[in-house]
Structure 1
Amino acid sequence: MQKSERFVLRLAIFSRFLLISLIITWRLLYPRYDSSAQLNPSCLSSSSTADELSHLKEGDRVLWPRAGAAIEGSVVWDSVYFVRIAECGYEYEQTYAFLPLLPLSISLLSRSVFAPLIPVIGYRAVLALSGYVLNNIAFVLAAIYFYKLSFLILKDSAASLQASVLFCFNPASIFYSSIYSESLYALFSFCGLFYLFSGSNYVAILLLGVCGTARSNGAIHAGYFCFKALLQAFDAITNKNSISLSEINEEECRISRSAKGMAEMKFGSGALVGGESENRSRAKFGVG
């Protein structure tokens, strides 16, 4: 990793710690506006993992119930849907607006890496914690690839660093540290575009395809491939025309040489040379 990339890495990590500290501070000072985190009915499907672990949701069965309640209380707005889908699957029609990459990733992390924490803080809190950790790590990686993509296009390290600073500290940066799909979308978008402009088309197709499972507007990345195909078609047509012109010039030269050869065979090379000398002499003395 280059020096500039290490700087972007430290900058992205610092921005996440700063933002999370501000979030915790403001939530301690002011009450939550959205109270949807308290709404947590049982899953409709009786075979879901949440029902299998329902005995761990009760406060007397969890070692740190207050910590679990605090984490669950931070799940607000659209985060409620992502955690609910990870917990119970797609139950209602409105949940289909949230694509499956983030809920699936949260579910996998909660059942593997963070599974030992379920008896400590509860299953739903583990789901939320998995989402927070996943999105913040994804943001840090996205910041690095954002710098690499910027440097690849701009060929200017200073401008790329400035763009990375603005990316890490932009006003909408809070969404990258919440349980939203922006972090995964940004990560796979920047990675895919970096490999696309680097010439690795197959890797770019794979990454941008995964990006489309995070947010529906990932489909617009197909425009890059369409534009690239148009450029290749234009280059092919241009090269074909230039080849055709060169072929025409070669054909004209060949015809000229053939005509000259036929004239030499008919009149002799001496007659041609003499005729040319006579013509030059007449032109010199102005004789018609």
Structure 2
Amino acid sequence: MSTTFGLLLGFAADRVLGDPRRFHPVAGFGRTASRLESHWYADSRAAGAAYTAALVGTTAVVGVAAERLTRDRPIAHTLVTAAATWTVLGARSLEREAETMATLLDEKDIPGARQRLSHLCARDATDLEADELARATVESIAENTSDACVAPLLWGGALGVPGLLAYRAINTLDAMVGYKSAKYANFGWASARLDDLVNLLPARVCAVLTGVTAGRFAAARRVWKRDAPQHPSPNAGPVEAAFAGALDLSLGGTNSYGSYQEDRGTLGDGPTPAVGDVRRTAVLARRVGFAAVGVAAMLAAVRKGRTWG
């Protein structure tokens, strides 16, 4: 049961403390990845695949070593799992960013909100007004609820510390080199596709939990099934569509990312987000997180039971 307790303890640490303010291991991983990229980069899929395999593989090995070293020491294993869980989760920090954006929009500080949006996504905010900033924030909260909370918890429940660390490595690399640009179209291909793969199931679990915790499962499911295929992402689409249905909003549209534009279609039937919807979305995301840690804890308990058998 040490994995179960570790997941719960790490989740609680994230709720209370948020991300570590100094010496964040994920930030350290990012710096290492950047240095390696400066030596390894080539405009080819093969180079990008080797880069991704090296970084993810090394991170997974660290996780396996941590599991084996604490395998026969339940208290140590609980603490290691808790530390890994706290490290890879970003739910509390996401909620704080949502509150910051809501406050800026309440105060009609549009320049400040445009600048702050970069903490949530890579969207070009230069010409965005309050309603578009609110939409961008709601969509980012939805997508990151899956990426920064539900997915790492589920992989932790399924595979323990190696699952937690490897997932965060994959997701971080996707954020660094997996986006569309001339530079990373080939080099970032493996990172982007691997991120799509490991998020296929967690994104759909997140969509289900969104409808359930909002008390609007039928509406969330209807919008998800109908509108998610319009979204270019196989995983962000179901999550954002489920949030749109659960909150009775319309999300999606054409987003600018500087060097390219992306049409996300129309998700949902309600009005477009207003400032108040940012806080509503954050509350729903929090509920999804609590449900997700419960699912992950049960998954870890089932896995441990099968190991004993």
TM-score class, shorter-chain normalisation, is under 0.3
The two structures have a TM-score, normalised by structure 2, of 0.26
Larger radius of gyration: 1
Per residue, is there more strand in 1 or in 2?
2
What TM-score does the superposition give when structure 1 sets the normalisation length?
0.27
Indicate the structure whose relative CO is greater, using CA pairs within 8 Å and at least 6 residues apart.
2
